[in-house]
Amino acid sequence: MRVLPLLALLALLAGCAANPPSRPEAADTPLPLPKVMSFGATDVQPPQRANADMAKDFLDLSFNLESGQALPVFTRFEGPITVAVTGIPSPALEKELRRLMHRLKSEAGLDIRRTADPATASVTIQGITSRDMQRTVPEAACFVLPTRVTWDGFRQTPRSPDYSWTRLKTRKAVSAFVPVDTSQQEIRDCLHEEIAQGLGPLNDLFRLGDSVFNDDNLNPILTGFDMLMLRATYHPSLHSGMTKEQVAAQIPVVLAALNPRGQSVPARGVIPSSDTWMRDITRALSPGSTSARRAAAKRAVVESAPWEDVRTGFSLFTLGRLSLPRDGEAALQAFLASKDIFESMPETRIHAAQSGFHLAAFALSAGQWDMAIGLCDLYMPAARRHEDAALLSDLQIAKAAALSATGHPDPALRQEALAWGVYAYGSPDRAEDRAVEIEALAMRHGV
């Protein structure tokens, strides 16, 4: 289940609350409305980690649920996989599904194709409204169930035993529910995570910096690691009904065949996440009192410090976001520390870019224009490579604001940023509103 994203506002915008920024006045010759941008071929980065570590990842992803409940046997679809779409029509969903299915065929090697018949499809995707999703499953942005069921059928029997993954011996049908009255990026992100979990790994692990199978939601699309996990899931050496011990005996051989480069990478031997850290990071990410969440994030930082990995960086990143409204200095230090950790590992470049944007926002607020431009230039390639239109748009707007402050405005850059913002936020108005929020930081210096 993809949880609702934590779209924390920028730090220093809290100070603008009393005098909210307004949109710029219309120019004599207004620029055209931004079009919706689209990404081309995905720049897939192969996994950078040791096969020995990824073998453990495969077992933990395939034999446990996010709740911690163990699965008795390995399951997958046996035979060709068909995909049908029903519910509210959505051109954005259709476009993103075509791109995803192409990747699943070419990168994961899956025998997957479209069908017009939802009654017989392996995977059924039903488009619904955000309002229906929020009224029925308020904690979810989208989700997948291990059976063939319509949205009305699910609402009539929301606690059916048929929705339990632990009952499966093999996968015969799954149903994914995706709101389609939202942005193209949200639709795409839901398709990637829910279809991938419907086909393969069911768990999410915070220790994975190079995967969508992670509740930090910082990887928006399926990665090279994710495609390797799906390719391994459908390797001829594995089949539904195998026990964990049986899969554990086969998966090192499977990964050696599929990813020879991983044989020469030294294993890191990742320390498992502690129960206390899991409890604290979950509390920090959950709704409720900001002070209580911030205290939980502080504890998570201390608890994860010895690991010095993506979980440490994410704990610091979370603390930074929660510190923004009341302690800018603490937020700045947390983002700096998280950026350093993320940059120390090749698989967390998109994480570093997230921290880098917050640092660019601080630079804008401080009037450090060259620093803001440099940070945006440094991190825009990662945002583009990982197809994070929201982050790319934010970085471009921040750079455009800094350029304007130096007397070198770049209207074309701002217009491109707004076009990516439409993809990310769903409409030209929302993209413009986000741009004005970021530009308000530079306006503190009279720009």
Question: Strands across the sheet with 81-87, in order?
Answer: 2-3, 140-145, 174-179, 123-128, 81-87, 112-114
> Tell me, what amino acid is at 158?
P
Which CATH number belongs to the domain containing residue 351 in this structure? 1.25.40.10
What average pLDDT score do residues 325-337 get? Answer: 96
Q: In three state form, how does the secondary structure of 401-447 look?
A: HHHHHCCCCCHHHHHHHHHHHHHHHCCHHHHHHHHHHHHHHHHCCCC
Comparing CA positions, the residue from 111, 60, 102, 107 lying closest to residue 191 is 102
Q: Is the CB of residue 81 less than 8 Å from the CB of residue 105?
A: no
> Which pLDDT does position 25 carry in this prediction?
39
Residues 374 and 230 in one domain: no
Domain annotation covers residue 150: yes
Question: Where a domain ends, among 240, 263, 286?
Answer: 263
Q: Is the CB of residue 425 less than 8 Å from the CB of residue 34?
A: no
Residue 153, pLDDT > 60, answer: yes
> Which pLDDT does position 2 carry in this prediction?
61
Residues 332 and 217 in one domain: no
Bigger pLDDT: 73 vs 13: 73
Mean residue pLDDT of the chain comes to: 92
> Tell me, what amino acid is at 367?
G
Place 29 in a pLDDT band, splitting at 50, 70 and 90. Answer: very low
> Which pLDDT does position 269 carry in this prediction?
87
Q: Which domain holds residue 215?
A: 51-263
Residue 4, pLDDT > 70, answer: no
Residues 297 and 357 in one domain: yes
Rounded to the nearest angstrom, the gap between the alpha carbon of residue 83 and the centroid of all alpha carbons in its chain is 23
Give me the torsion for CA of 410, 36, 142, 230, rounded to 10°: -90
Alpha-carbon distance 327 to 342, whole Å?
A: 23
Angle ∠(138,144,148) on CA atoms, nearest 5: 120
What average pLDDT score do residues 357-368 get? Answer: 97
Q: Is the CB of residue 47 less than 8 Å from the CB of residue 54?
A: yes
Which CATH number belongs to the domain containing residue 256 in this structure? 3.40.390.10
Q: Is the CB of residue 396 less than 8 Å from the CB of residue 431?
A: no
Domain annotation covers residue 300: yes
Rounded to the nearest angstrom, the gap between the alpha carbon of residue 395 and the centroid of all alpha carbons in its chain is 17
> Which pLDDT does position 33 carry in this prediction?
53
Domain annotation covers residue 45: no
Question: Where a domain ends, among 218, 235, 263?
Answer: 263
Residue 435, pLDDT > 60, answer: yes
Domain annotation covers residue 143: yes
Domain annotation covers residue 193: yes
Least confident of 22-36, 193-207, 284-298, 432-446: 22-36
Domain annotation covers residue 255: yes
Least confident of 10-24, 71-85, 261-275: 10-24
Burial class (CB in 10 A: 0-12, 13-18, 19+), 169: exposed
Residue 363, pLDDT > 50, answer: yes
Question: Where a domain ends, among 228, 263, 298?
Answer: 263
Residue 5, pLDDT > 60, answer: no
> Which pLDDT does position 168 carry in this prediction?
96
Q: Per the structure, how many domains does the chain have?
A: 2
> Which pLDDT does position 37 carry in this prediction?
86
Q: Is 266 left (phi over 0), alpha (psi -120 to 50) or beta?
A: beta
Residues 231 and 85 in one domain: yes
> Which pLDDT does position 445 carry in this prediction?
60
Domain annotation covers residue 46: no
Residues 127 and 244 in one domain: yes
First-residue to last-residue Cα distance in the chain: 43
Residues 243 and 278 in one domain: no
> Which pLDDT does position 9 carry in this prediction?
37
> Which pLDDT does position 26 carry in this prediction?
35
Q: Is the dihedral of CA 348, 354, 357, 359 positive or negative?
A: negative
Top-ranked range on mean pLDDT: pick from 20-29, 101-110, 435-444: 101-110
Residues 72 and 150 in one domain: yes
Q: Is the CB of residue 207 less than 8 Å from the CB of residue 273?
A: yes
Residues 319 and 174 in one domain: no
Residues 213 and 106 in one domain: yes
Domain annotation covers residue 44: no
Residues 242 and 178 in one domain: yes
Residues 248 and 371 in one domain: no
pLDDT > 90 fraction of the chain, expressed in percent and rounded:
88
Residues 14 and 115 in one domain: no
Residue 32, pLDDT > 80, answer: no
Residue 239, pLDDT > 60, answer: yes
Comparing CA positions, the residue from 268, 261, 284, 248 lying closest to residue 207 is 268
* Residues 194-232: tens digit of each pLDDT: 999 999 999 999 999 999 999 899 999 999 999 999 999
Residue 362, pLDDT > 80, answer: yes
What average pLDDT score do residues 313-338 get? Answer: 97
